[in-house]
A and B are shown apart, each in its own frame.
Chain A
Amino acid sequence: MNIIKLFSIALTALRLNVMRSVLTMLGIIIGVSAVIIMVAVGAGAQKLVDEQIEAMGGNILIIFGGWNNRGGGGTAAVATLQDKHADMIMEQIYGVEAATPYVSGKAQLISGNLNWSADILGTTNNFFITKNWDLESGREFTAAEMTSGEKVVIIGSILRDELFGASDPIGQTVRINDFNATIIGVLKEKGPDMRGNEQDDVAVLPLKTVRNKITGISRNSPNSVSYLELKAADTVSMEYITEEVTSLLRQALNAKATDEDPFRIRDLAETMESRAETQSIFNRLLAAVASVSLVVGGIGIMNIMMVSVTERTREIGLRMAIGAKPDDILNQFLVEAITLCGVGGIIGVGIAYGITHVMELYFNTVTEINPEIVLVSIGFSALIGVFFGYYPALKASRLQPIDALRYE
């Protein structure tokens, strides 16, 4: 007997009891859709993090300066990180693509009668690499502008919109606090970062210009920076880079063996990943709970198949009398159970698609259903059909035709 015939017999039998078939499938439908939805929500969260990490441009470490109380007693605290450390890291550590020093502040920008407060970043051209950022128009800083602390500025897209609207800002002058700067470039729009802060509300100037004109120069450490940012090549591990940077900076900052690190290193991707990990553990737990309902659905299938075998004993007897082999009967009931589960699984997938769609539209949840999980779910529910359908089917096939025929 071929498989198509078997399925057509199963479908015929199930159609004769539509209501019962649907109710039996319900357990599987709910189980499958619950599992897929949970996994989809988890995958959506992971996708969001992956996108943010992608946007960040990969393996980024941020190094914040600490305060160094070295020298004991009266000496003033000294800001530890300086722009030369960025160069040291780039030169001395293998696998560092770029290291960028930043001096950050806030300033008022004025153009004509328009007025806007923005973040100020004093940095080098390396920031294009470490922040994975490109120019929309204009140019980078020149070497001369960097050394002399020229009053040139590259602005973010929000600043451009707020101060210049539709007109081209390149070459125009903007007033920053109390000096005029020439706009040489506009950055591409980047959107908010993972905490929701606008990154495009920024004015980027040469490091020296910001020190001279905005943040001022500390007498004790004139070359101090707010933080360093470095980008590692994909080929090296972040652990290795972190270790190397730590030992290099400890040496450069004369930290004693007993001292704590006079700086902090943060791996952005790792921070995001660990947040995503918590989320995904939670989702996996929910999916596990959902899969319990799938098993419960399977037990429901077994229950109904047992009832069905008893109820149809005479039919089984007749089929055997007119030539059905025990295996034919086994297959018939097995295929019925598999069909119930398989169809239930497919309906469950449909419902999962519907619900995740609604979640995306109305609850702003990012979800992602990947084809593997759909196939796995349908396959798994068919497997449940085999598992829970086998015993009732075996029971049916073991009936003796004469007993089954006379069953009342």
Chain B
Amino acid sequence: MTNPVIQTKAIRKAYHMGEQTLWALDGVDTAIYPGEFVAVMGPSGSGKSTYMNMIGCLDVVTEGQVFLDGCEVSSYKPDELATIRNQKIGFVFQQFNLLARTSALENVKLPLLYSDTPEEEWDERALNCLAKVDLSSRTANQPSQLSGGQQQRVAIARALVNDPVMILADEPTGALDTHTTEEIMGLFQQLNEAGTTIVLVTHEPEVAAYAKRQLIFRDGLLVSDELTENRVTLNIDDSSLKNSAA
């Protein structure tokens, strides 16, 4: 069996509210393997966001171990975590988080700035990623000149540019309408088919239904870990996807 991309061993995360200690995660063991498309679900306060922060190397655990691509990141210092995030994880956020008044191409190139990639390769790599999200014709556009779906696709291209081991998407469709949600989820499925490991954090079952596997959190615990029943799959060549991309 291949090594997991993400493995957590009895991770706990404490938040201190005055004298009270709140365990946002209270002993979670998970493993996510290459090529998986996992939805992390749960209501607010369930610990799913904390879990995402831990596996995304944005925060450190109080107890337990987190392994990312074989490295024990739970013992890393902030600078090392930054490097790991840069090299191994592609983030996609609800609010897209693109730099305003900056072209799509420049936005996609941003992670390369913090990597060791030679500058001569930047344009080529960024353009390739924009092609993967079908935005080759919009490379010079600024976020304000793009629709919500297009902006999120720029963000996905940015997540792909450093060739990460995993894409971590935090409510990627939270700011999009139903139609555009379909478009973005279709894109994720397409990328997943091509081999990209995707972890999707969402509280919407309809969105989670696009994933292959669902992790459900409640009160800091993993309460369910099952393959998706009745998975929604979009035909990659679906004309509606093409139309909305235009």
Q: Is B87 an interface residue (CB 8 A)?
A: yes
Segment of A34-42, A93-101, A314-322, A360-368 engaged in the interface with chain B: A314-322
Contact for A322 among B59, B78, B79, B91, CB less than 8 A? B91
Segment of A126-134, A209-217, A283-291, A323-331 engaged in the interface with chain B: A323-331
B83 cross-chain contacts in A, Cβ below 8 A: 323, 325
Of the candidates B83, B87, B95, the one having the most CB atoms from chain A within 10 angstroms of its own CB is B95
Q: Is B110 an interface residue (CB 8 A)?
A: yes
Q: Is B202 an interface residue (CB 8 A)?
A: no
**A4 vs B93: C-alpha distance in the bound complex, in angstroms?**
30
Contact status A323-B97, CB under 8 Å: no
Contact with A along B50-72 (1 / 0, CB 8 A): 00010010110000000000000
Q: A308 to nearest B CB, angstroms? A: 13
Q: B93 to nearest A CB, angstroms? A: 7
CB proximity to B under 8 Å, residues A322-356: 322-328
B99 cross-chain contacts in A, Cβ below 8 A: 315, 318
**A242 vs B108: C-alpha distance in the bound complex, in angstroms?**
80
Contact status B85-A322, CB under 8 Å: yes
Contact for A323 among B59, B87, B93, B100, CB less than 8 A? B87
A322-B86 contact, Cβ under 8 Å, with A1-B113, A5-B113, A9-B113? yes
Count B interface residues, CB 8 Å: 26
CB proximity to B under 8 Å, residues A3-33: 5, 9, 12, 16
Q: A4 to nearest B CB, angstroms? A: 10
Q: A22 to nearest B CB, angstroms? A: 17
Residue of A nearest to B80 (CB): A325
Contact status B114-A405, CB under 8 Å: no
**A270 vs B85: C-alpha distance in the bound complex, in angstroms?**
72
Of the candidates B78, B87, B113, B158, the one having the most CB atoms from chain A within 10 angstroms of its own CB is B113
Q: Is A236 an interface residue (CB 8 A)?
A: no
B82 cross-chain contacts in A, Cβ below 8 A: 320, 323-326, 328
Q: A190 to nearest B CB, angstroms? A: 65
A325-B79 contact, Cβ under 8 Å, with A9-B113, A402-B53? yes
- Chain A residues within 8 Å of B, Cβ to Cβ: 1, 5, 9, 12, 16, 314-315, 317-328, 400-402, 405
Contact for A402 among B59, B101, B115, CB less than 8 A? B59
**A326 vs B79: C-alpha distance in the bound complex, in angstroms?**
7
CB proximity to A under 8 Å, residues B24-47: none
CB proximity to A under 8 Å, residues B101-153: 101-102, 110-111, 113-115
B59 cross-chain contacts in A, Cβ below 8 A: 400, 402
A323-B79 contact, Cβ under 8 Å, with A314-B97, A405-B93, A405-B97? no
The 3 closest A-B pairs by CB, nearest first: A323-B86, A323-B114, A325-B82
Q: A382 to nearest B CB, angstroms? A: 24
**A319 vs B86: C-alpha distance in the bound complex, in angstroms?**
10
Sample of 16 further A-B pairs with CB below 8 A, known A319-B114, A328-B82? A12-B102, A318-B93, A318-B99, A321-B85, A321-B91, A322-B85, A322-B111, A323-B82, A323-B114, A323-B115, A323-B162, A324-B114, A326-B78, A326-B82, A400-B59, A405-B58
